Amino acid sequence: MNLRYEIILYWSEEDQAFIAEVPELPGCAADGETYQAALQNVQIIMQEWLEIAQRLGRQIPDPKLRSVTT
C-alpha cells in the first residue's frame, strides 16, 4: 500500500509523548515515547487505517504531492 502521506510529529506536554498525525487520513494518529517510536507507531496505524477503509469500501484519499521550490 502507498504510505506516502504527510505526517506531522510534535511533542505533547499534556500527553508527555510525541504525537504523529496524518492529516489526510481522518483520525489517524499515534504516539510514542520518542520521535522514532511515534513515527514507527503511526506507520502501523496508517497501514491499518488503509486496510480497514479498503475492506469497508470507503474512498481512500490520494496522497497530496508537495512541490519544492528553490
Question: Does the residue 40 lie in any domain?
Answer: yes
Domain count for the chain, please give it: 1
Domain coverage including residue 36: 32-58
User: Side chain identity at 3, as an amino acid letter?
Assistant: L
pLDDT of 69 reads: 62
Is residue 13 assigned to a domain?
A: no
Q: Is residue 45 part of a domain?
A: yes
- d(CA 24, CA 34) in angstroms, rounded, equals 23
Whether residue 67 lies inside any domain: the answer is: no
The pLDDT of residue 70 is above 60: no
- Whole-angstrom Cα distance, residue 66 to residue 52? 26
Residue 9 covered by a domain: no
pLDDT tens-place string over residues 21-46: 999 999 999 999 999 999 999 999 99
Residue 42 lies in a domain: yes
Q: How many angstroms separate the CA atoms of 12 and 4, rounded?
A: 24
- What is the band of 1 on the pLDDT scale with cuts at 50, 70, 90? low
pLDDT of residue 68: 62
pLDDT attached to residue 18: 98
The pTM for the full model equals: 0.85
Residue partners of 23: CB distance under 8 A and separation at least 6: 6, 8
